[in-house]
Structure formats: C-alpha cells, structure tokens
Chains A and B, each alone.
Chain A
Amino acid sequence: MLARRAMRPAFAHLAFPPALDTDPRPDWPLAAAAQRVILGHVRRLLSLREAAWNADVESVRRLRVAARRARTALSDFQSLFDADLVRDARRALSDLADGLGRTRDLDVLLGLAAELAGERPDNPELAAACRALQRRRDRMQSSLHDALRDFELAGWPSRLVTYFAAAPLDLWRFVDLHHLLQSRESTPDS
C-alpha cells in the first residue's frame, strides 16, 4: 500500500490531430465538430495532470471542469460513437472528477466555517468545529492522487485520444477545404 501511494504516474504526452487547432465552421460534419470538442477537453485535462498531482488548487479545479465538460460532450454526442466506450469513458471521467472533488467540498465548507467563525470571534465551540473539519480535510489528501493514478493506470489518456481522433471520422486526415482555399489565396505565388 505504501509503495502504491508513493508511485507517481509517468503522465505521457500524447499527440493530437491538427484539426484541433483549426476554428470549426458551421458546415463541418457534426461528427468532426463533436470529435474536436471532446478532444479539446481531453487535451486540456491531460495538460493539467502534473500540476494537479502537485496539489496546485487552481489546476485541480480546472482539471475537474475539463473532465465534466468532456463528460457532458460525450452525453450530447453519444449517438455518434461506440456506446460501450462512451459509457466506460463517462464513468472514468466521473470517477476522476469525484476523486478530485472530495477535498474540494471540504475546502468550501472550511471556507464557510472560517467566515462564520470569524464573525463570532468569542465563540470557542465554532473554533473547535473548524479544527475538527480541518483534521478531516488533512486525512483526505490522498484521494486526489488515487483518482489521478487510477485514471492513468487504466490507460484512459491514450484510449480517449486514440478513439476520438479516429472515429467516426479520421481527424488525422481531416481537411477543411474552406480553410485550405483561404490559406492558398493568402500565400503569394512563388
């Protein structure tokens, strides 16, 4: 158990299709737009893993938001994708967000409690309650690492990128003709 707690995942860097850096247009096929939306959230999520592991509060918050957004996009466009994969990916993202959120809920409560106790400085019982909540918060820190590690060890980063870059449309080969023509027009003849 101790060895597992100390183990920090490698957080591999993955490549994304160039279509992610192209502005989508209303005449794009819905599938391409949906894949781009999902991969965009996945890319953001993956870029925040290391900072979140180091308990940077803002990175943890942003990673949770990216996980929630990816989950929501999967629900919106689920009929375009493999049903089993969408179900499993939603569960994995949900577990990740929940694991990161456990400490966040207590942080919010501690903030509220400190505010209320601060308004009543002569109240020893409120101060005692705050100390009890802080002790509980300190004991929960490991859930953040557990959530990030489980997500990595299950291979979700590469599974998400591999699938949504290739299905149903192959985004690695996706070319927006409008953008292509525009870039040709703006390039002077050689």
Chain B
Amino acid sequence: MRARPIPDLDGLASTRSQVGVVLGTRLDEMLELAPRALDPCAEEPLHDLRIAGKRLRYALESLAFCLPPWSAEIIDQLKEVQARLGDIHDLDVGMARIRRELRRALDGLRRRARYLADHEQVAAFSRELHDGEASGLVHLLDLLHERRALRHAEFVLFWHELAATGFAERVQTLWTRDDVDAT
C-alpha cells in the first residue's frame, strides 16, 4: 500500500508548525484502514493497517523533538499494535509459503506415484503419502490456521479496548495542545 502523499509542506517554516500536517495525515490513514482489518478473513487490509501503524510510529519517533514527553506512551501503544499485527502477518506469509511448497510436494508425489505403481511398490508409496513432507505440510497449515484465528480474535479485542481509551483523540492532542513544544 502506497503511503498517502503529504502535499503543501513548507520546508522553510518551523518544524513545530508542520508537525500536525504530517502526523494528522498518518493518523487518518491508519484509522481509515482499521474497520476492514477487523474482518478475520481479510489478509490484505490487515497488512495495510500494520504498515500504516508503522508509518505513524516512525513519524512520531522522527518528530519526537517537537512533541510532549508523553508521546512515548503513544509510541509504546503503537508498538503493541504492531507486534500483534506482525504475528498475524508472519502466519499469513508462512501459510502462503506452505501452500507453494505443498504444490511442489504434490507434483513430486504424482511423479513418484507413477514410478512406484509401475514397479508395484504400493506399500512404499502409501508410507510416503502418510509420513512424507506433503502430509506434514498439510498438518502444519492446519495448525497455523488455528493459531491465526486465535491471534486475530485477540487483536480485535485489543483494538476495541484501545479505541475505548480514546487512543485517536490522545494522538491528536500531541500537536493540538498548547504544551506541544517539548523544549
């Protein structure tokens, strides 16, 4: 997902005066993506939310010298969001890899099946079918699916709790309050 452009920045204006433009854009980007990411079947929106959260966190860290000290709490909360989304993303990437490996393993099995049938070694083929890598990859895929469903359910709960604490409003006050100048 491409980052939303931030036009009209004034390079010669003080950094303090431009912080809200950068951070506001990144916060909006993240909040708009959140509802779709709560769908347990949606891989892409979840990945997009993870990236958007990372962009907001990186921007907060880069511009921390213009923000009040309590911006560190917001950064910690974003790290928690990312850690949870990162775990789910790792599982999605892992399952996609297993599906690719499974296709290769099944192609190999088809070839072996023809060879072993020609040589009347049905018992050997049966063993390979049950204890071989294709069977293991299917089993692994099942286990990862199960873990992914659990992690996603935990994330949805966490996200609702975060929203209930007024997370978005607190991020906005980082640059709208009078005490934003950390120096």
Q: Mark B1-32, 1 if CB is under 8 A from A, else 0.
A: 00101111111111111100010001000000
Closest residue on chain B to residue A131 by CB atoms: B133
**Complex Cα–Cα for A75 and B3 (A):** 6
Instruction: Determine the chain A residues whose CB is within 8 A of the CB of B63 once the complex forms.
Output: 33
Set B18, B59, B132: member contacting A30, Cβ < 8 A: B18
A172 close to B (CB within 8 Å):
no
B144 close to A (CB within 8 Å):
yes
Q: How far is the CB of A57 from chain B (nearest CB, A)?
A: 16
**Complex Cα–Cα for A27 and B14 (A):** 5
Query: Is there contact, CB below 8 Å, between B101 and A133?
Result: yes
B85 close to A (CB within 8 Å):
no
Q: Is the interface of B mostly helix, strand, loop or mixed?
A: helix
A19 close to B (CB within 8 Å):
no
**Complex Cα–Cα for A130 and B3 (A):** 37
Set A24, A30, A123: member contacting B9, Cβ < 8 A: A30
Instruction: Determine the chain B residues whose CB is within 8 A of the CB of A133 once the complex forms.
Output: 97-98, 101
Instruction: Determine the chain B residues whose CB is within 8 A of the CB of A26 once the complex forms.
Output: 14-16, 65-66, 181-183
A129 close to B (CB within 8 Å):
yes
Q: Is the interface of A mostly helix, strand, loop or mixed?
A: helix
**Complex Cα–Cα for A76 and B105 (A):** 44
Instruction: Determine the chain A residues whose CB is within 8 A of the CB of B94 once the complex forms.
Output: 105, 108-109, 112-113
Closest residue on chain A to residue B105 by CB atoms: A132
Instruction: Determine the chain A residues whose CB is within 8 A of the CB of B109 once the complex forms.
Output: none
B131 close to A (CB within 8 Å):
yes
Query: Is there contact, CB below 8 Å, between B13 and A29?
Result: yes
Q: How far is the CB of B50 from chain A (nearest CB, A)?
A: 12
Q: How far is the CB of A144 from chain B (nearest CB, A)?
A: 17
Query: Is there contact, CB below 8 Å, between A116 and B140?
Result: yes
Known contacts A78-B6, A128-B133: does B90 contact A31 (CB below 8 Å)? no
B173 close to A (CB within 8 Å):
no
Instruction: Determine the chain B residues whose CB is within 8 A of the CB of A24 once the complex forms.
Output: 15, 65
B54 close to A (CB within 8 Å):
yes
Query: Is there contact, CB below 8 Å, between B54 and A68?
Result: yes
A 118-169 contacts with B by CB, 8 A: 123-133, 136, 168-169
A 32-55 contacts with B by CB, 8 A: 33-34, 37
Q: Mark B61-75, 1 if CB is under 8 A from A, else 0.
A: 011011000000000
Instruction: Determine the chain B residues whose CB is within 8 A of the CB of A109 once the complex forms.
Output: 90, 93-94, 97-98
A189 close to B (CB within 8 Å):
no
Set B17, B93, B135: member contacting A108, Cβ < 8 A: B93
Residues of A within 8 A of B (CB): 23-31, 33-34, 37, 68-69, 72-73, 75-80, 105-106, 108-109, 112-113, 116, 123-133, 136, 168-169
Listed from nearest, the 8 A-B pairs whose CB atoms lie closest are A129-B136, A31-B11, A125-B136, A75-B3, A26-B16, A109-B94, A132-B133, A128-B133
